[in-house]
Amino acid sequence: MTDQQIQVTFYGGVGSVTGANFLLENVVHAQEESTKILVDCGMFQGDESAFEKNYEPFHYHPADIDILIITHAHADHIGRIPKLVRDGFRGVIYSTEATHDLAKVMLDDSLQIISYEAKKRNIDPLYTLDDVAETMSLWKHIPYHHTLELSGGFSVVLHEAGHILGSAIVKFRYGNKNIVFTGDLGNSPDPLLSDTEVIDDADYMIIESVYGDRNHEERDERITKLKNVVLETIAKQGILMIPSFALERTQNLLFVLNDLVESGELPNIPIFLDSPLAIDITNVFRKHQHLFNADAQQRLKKDSDIFSFPGFKETYSVNDSKAIMRAPNPKIIISSAGMSHAGRIIHHEKQYLDDPNNTLLFVGYQAVGTLGRIIQDGAKKVHILGKEVHVKARVETISGYSAHKDSEHLVEFVSHSAKRLQHVFVAMGETQSSLFLVQRIRDYLGVKATAPDVDASVMLDMS
Ligand SMILES: [Zn+2]
């Protein structure tokens, strides 16, 4: 016999953007086993202490978990799944198919970094190739809007989050109430993705708060600026380097360039996508283009591949990558990592930063301490792969890109359920950001809201 209560424990993704990990279990009477459902199992990211936290044992028994539901394929939501499996989890993993496909690419790619980091510290890697293979074998798909009955009296349905391809808001039903995990919520409208769906029937909500205390600047003239930078590169017969995050930002960029080239606003020049990870991810986007918004669907009717255009070349192998050097100027190189802390972009920066005819264009956030940030902050001399490089190239930034809703739009998202919401738990943000959003939800919507502590549990009445 089950009670009409569930317990939620916040094991990660509180007081921090990263490490999302929430446990949901029904309250049952003695002798019975509760059903245990995890939402997300993300990596802690950032400094050395985050690195160490990933190695700590989970604060529950992975073997006891029945089900793991994944909101989306960013590392801070999926990065510890292979460790969970390594530590005994043998339940079922559910997500959208696009999230599954992206997770496979992302987890395979992460193996290199995981083993590099372990070697550097002379410790065992967090997980291995076998753990990733085992993880993928436990994974099943659920389409958006399909209600899946789970054990223990739970059911679950996924809604479009509009954050990255395949991203989902997870809505559980238990008893007579709904509990909603937002995952990360997209900054709709997006050039490719469908808008975040309105959720108007949440009784409880666990919401992200990456930008809980800030509003985005107006969407500026990003496309015009990109076009101008490209045209200036052509005029100077130079090289344009764009460090770009492999997932989502790169595909957005390709979509825009595709448009500019095919409409004749930009001439055909060689444009290289020089990142195996970004190429693999772009192929996942091609496979799931039915998920794109109406605008992108219209383009697809006229152009079957909106990520490819005259002059565009994907350089997967190291040889192809090296051949970029021999291509005549002007040319554009899009490569990862997005903050120039790893990946092939560093080789291009080492090669080309000392020429005033070249340009380095930032299209994403550069964290303090990364090579990208050091150059963005105006360093004139940097060390790259053992070489001293004089930064003579022009350095430009296109800002305003964000994959997260800002404070105002997070409150708006909550407002649709305000009439029936009993409690909002604000998570997945820095403490200050979460607390600010808590206050806003209370003040503007009159809804009870708190920012839970790490490992805190709450009992929710679902009757
Ligand atoms: Zn995310």
Instruction: Indicate the pLDDT class of residue 301, thresholds 50, 70 and 90.
Output: very high
Among 153, 401, 364, residue whose Cα is nearest residue 243: 364
Q: What is the CATH number of domain 222-397?
A: 3.40.50.10890
Q: Is-same-fold flag (2-215+403-461; 222-397)? A: no
CA of 186 to the centre of ligand 1 (A): 9
| Whole-number Cα distances in Å, 285 to 109, 207, 294, 317 | 17, 26, 15, 20
Ranked by mean pLDDT, the top range of 37-51, 111-125, 395-409, 445-459 is 445-459
Instruction: Indicate the pLDDT class of residue 2, thresholds 50, 70 and 90.
Output: low
Write down the pTM of the prediction.
0.94
| Residues whose beta carbons lie less than 5 angstroms from ion ligand 1 | 74, 184
CA of 447 to the centre of ligand 1 (A): 25
CA of 446 to the centre of ligand 1 (A): 28
CA of 445 to the centre of ligand 1 (A): 26
Selected residue with higher pLDDT from 1 and 340:
340
Calculate mean pLDDT across residues 376-388: 95
CA of 166 to the centre of ligand 1 (A): 11
pLDDT for the residue 220: 63
CA of 187 to the centre of ligand 1 (A): 11
Q: Does 224 have pLDDT greater than 50?
A: yes
Calculate mean pLDDT across residues 186-213: 96
pLDDT for the residue 366: 84
Calculate mean pLDDT across residues 416-444: 97
Calculate mean pLDDT across residues 413-432: 97
How high is the mean pLDDT of the chain? 95
Domain ranges of the chain: 2-215+403-461, 222-397
CA separation for the pair 14, 137 (Å, rounded): 29
CA separation for the pair 307, 121 (Å, rounded): 40
Angle between helices 97-121 and 276-287 (to 10 degrees): 160
**The token pair that represents 346 in the structure block:** 């560093």
Question: How many Cβ atoms from other residues are within 10 Å of residue 88's Cβ?
Answer: 12
Q: Is 160 helix (H, G, I), strand (E, B) or coil?
A: strand
Calculate mean pLDDT across residues 305-329: 96
CA of 163 to the centre of ligand 1 (A): 7
**CATH 3.40.228.10 describes domain 2-215+403-461:** no
Beta bridge partners of 172: 156, 179
Q: Tens digits of per-residue pLDDT, 335-365?
A: 998 899 888 999 999 999 999 999 999 998 8
Which residues have CB under 8 Å from 429's CB, separation 6+?
Answer: 16, 17, 208, 209, 210, 211, 212, 437
Say if residues 187 and 403 touch (Cβ distance below 8 Å). Answer: yes
Beta bridge partners of 171: 157, 180
Q: Is 4 helix (H, G, I), strand (E, B) or coil?
A: strand
Among 331, 184, 302, residue whose Cα is nearest residue 247: 184
CA separation for the pair 457, 130 (Å, rounded): 33
pLDDT for the residue 1: 47
Number of residues in the chain: 463
